[in-house]
Amino acid sequence: MSAQGSVIFKERENQIHRKGDGAFEMDCNRDSLAGAVSQRACVFCGSRVVLYPIADALHLVHGPIGCAAYTWDIRGALSSGPALHRLSFSTDLQEMDIIFGAEEKLYRALIELIDRHNPKAAFVYSTCIVGIIGDDLEAVCRRVAAEKKIPVLPVQSEGIKGNKREGYSAACKAMFRLVGTGDTSDISDLSVNILGDFNLAGELWIIRDYFKKMGVQTVANITGDGRVEDIKRAHGAALNLVQCSGSTIELAKMMKESFGVPFLRVSYFGVEDMAQALYEVAGFFKDKDPEIVERTRELVREELSVLYPELQKYRKDLCGKKAAIYVGGAFKAFSLVKAFRLIGMKVVMVGSQTGTEEDYRDLHEITDEGTIIVDDSNPLELSSFLKEKDCDIFVGGVKERPIAYKLGVGFCDHNHERKQPLEGFVGMLNFAREVHSSVMSPVWRFVPRRKEKA
């Protein structure tokens, strides 16, 4: 039988909107459609993504081997010290474990690994099958924590419980157990925690450096280049800065409720958002330190004076080119829309795996007429959008890359595997350079689809 008609599933029609096509309305946060090859991952993936960069903790995946093997050292989250997070630990459940339960195996694995690595804490991830066989993670963790005198935290991340967002939530709950247990005596009045940044390619260090120049102390990185001790005393910070729409907001909310730490939502991608983040922090602390505003202005001015002339070079080449965006979380999509504008490009498609109704409404606000907005897309749709809009570049992750390349469309990797910092002012420059190096490459003239057009 042959495939007929549109590549868009009837069930998914309401998860796609074209700006200008009637009133904005969008379905999202639905379960992925069976057989549709969703680009989404699972709950476990969400938890793993958030907690992974905590470099001095042990991360043990309780489940069959795959879940652990596929997440072994796949992210570019750097550490300035210990690198325990880069190892992949698993209980590698076998048939007998499934039949008789694997609590004892989990217990012994934990003891063995804690003895070998002396971690500051251990996170134990539950996977689909553990949810089914019903191992009591909580009890095993308690037993090991008592014996080994370190926090041993269960992460209830059974894959089937939903998508990545439930995983973020499970990760936040696990981390929250640490918060409030550390010493906060030497924390400055001008202090923040950085939430929702994973120090990919050292990005978090760039941001920390800005704050340092402003005179603001960073207490805990949550979780890039993360340390257990820092998280324990994170409640001592004056302010939480939350990046990434979904991943750590729940932790910020819990900290606000229990410890009264206020939070601000920020993004460090693109010039506008980066500068705004710094100004907001300065604004927050200006009563305590009136000069911070001027220091921040100076910092931004200095950065921009270097950045703008450089950016202009790329802008000249890129002006009028068309971009498509498909990323995990919607916050990144916002920043990217603005960043593309800054280099003169038009965004013609934007989507995410796990955006909320509110996210999409905001995206609808800031995009141009005709832009396609899509939730939880799949390869067939994405490739039809890329063709329809005749894009010059596609921003996404590893799974999106071959779709772009097969169509002769440039690509920019904006996922967790990236090895190039894209945050901060310097990140904007890297981004422009990367987009430029793909869009302007001579290879496209040889690609059959583009050649036909030329």
Partner 1 sequence: MERSNYVSTTNACKLCKPLGACLAFKGIEGAVPMLHGSQGCATYMRRYIISHFREPMDIASSSLGEKHAVYGGGPNLKQGLRNIMTKYGARLIGVATTCLTETIGDDVPMIVKEFKKEMGESGLHDLPALVTVSTPSYSGTHMEGFHAAVRAVVEQVSSNEDSAHILNLLPGFLSPEDLRYLKEITDDFWYPSVILPDFSMTLDGPALTDCEKIPGGGTPIEDIRRMGGATATFEFGSTLADFNSAGKFLRDRFGVPLHQMGIPIGLRETDVFFDALERLSGTACPEKYVLEKGRLIDSYVDAHKYLFGKRAVVYGEEDLVVGLTSFLSEVGITPVLCATGGKSGHFKTAIERVTEGIAPPAAGPEGSSAVQPPAVYEGMDFQQIEELALQLSPDLLIGHSKGYPLSKKLGIPLIRVGFPIHDRFGAQRILHVGYRGTQSLLDLIVNSILEAHQDDSPVGYAYM
> Residues 81 to 140: which contact partner 1 by CB under 8 A?
87-95, 97-98, 105, 108-110, 112-113, 128-129, 131-133
Which of 407, 412, 422, 439 touches partner 1 by CB under 8 A?
Answer: 407
* Binding-site partner at residue 202 among ligand SF4, partner 1, none, CB < 5 to 8 Å by type: none
Interaction site with ligand SF4 (CB under 6 A): 42, 44, 63-67, 127-129, 159
Which of 15, 39, 191, 193 touches partner 1 by CB under 8 A?
Answer: 39
HSE, CB side, 13 Å, CA atoms: give it for residue 223.
Answer: 28
Binding mask 340-379 for partner 1 (x = CB under 8 A): ---------------------------------------x
CB 356 within 8 A of CB 332: no
CA angle, 334 then 337 then 338, to 5°: 90
Specify the residue, 156 or 335, whose C-beta has the smaller distance to ligand SF4.
Answer: 156
By CB atoms closer than 10 A (0-12, 13-18, 19+), residue 287 is exposed
Which of 13, 21, 25, 37 touches partner 1 by CB under 8 A?
Answer: 37
**Distance in Å, CB of 106 to partner 1, minimum:** 9
For residue 62, which amino acid is it? H
Residues that bind partner 1 (rule: CB under 8 A) add up to a total of 80
Does 63 interact with partner 1 (rule: CB under 8 A)?
A: yes
CB 273 within 8 A of CB 266: yes
Does 449 interact with partner 1 (rule: CB under 8 A)?
A: yes
Which of 72, 80, 142, 368 touches partner 1 by CB under 8 A?
Answer: 72
Structure tokens, 111: 């003891």
**Distance in Å, CB of 94 to ligand SF4, minimum:** 11
In the range 424-443, which residues lie near partner 1 by CB under 8 A?
none
Specify the residue, 246 or 408, whose C-beta has the smaller distance to partner 1.
Answer: 408
**Distance in Å, CB of 75 to partner 1, minimum:** 11
How far is 217 from 347, CA to CA, in rounded Å? 37
* Binding-site partner at residue 383 among partner 1, ligand SF4, none, CB < 5 to 8 Å by type: partner 1
Which of 66, 262, 283, 370 touches partner 1 by CB under 8 A?
Answer: 66
Specify the residue, 116 or 142, whose C-beta has the smaller distance to partner 1.
Answer: 116
Specify the residue, 36 or 145, whose C-beta has the smaller distance to partner 1.
Answer: 36
* Binding-site partner at residue 387 among partner 1, ligand SF4, none, CB < 5 to 8 Å by type: partner 1
Location of structure tokens 């996210």: 359
Does 29 interact with partner 1 (rule: CB under 8 A)?
A: no
Does 380 interact with partner 1 (rule: CB under 8 A)?
A: yes
* Binding-site partner at residue 162 among partner 1, ligand SF4, none, CB < 5 to 8 Å by type: partner 1
**Distance in Å, CB of 22 to partner 1, minimum:** 25
By CB atoms closer than 10 A (0-12, 13-18, 19+), residue 317 is middle
**Distance in Å, CB of 159 to ligand SF4, minimum:** 2
How far is 150 from 57, CA to CA, in rounded Å? 10
CB 195 within 8 A of CB 242: yes
Does 403 interact with partner 1 (rule: CB under 8 A)?
A: yes
**Distance in Å, CB of 68 to ligand SF4, minimum:** 8
* Binding-site partner at residue 435 among ligand SF4, partner 1, none, CB < 5 to 8 Å by type: none
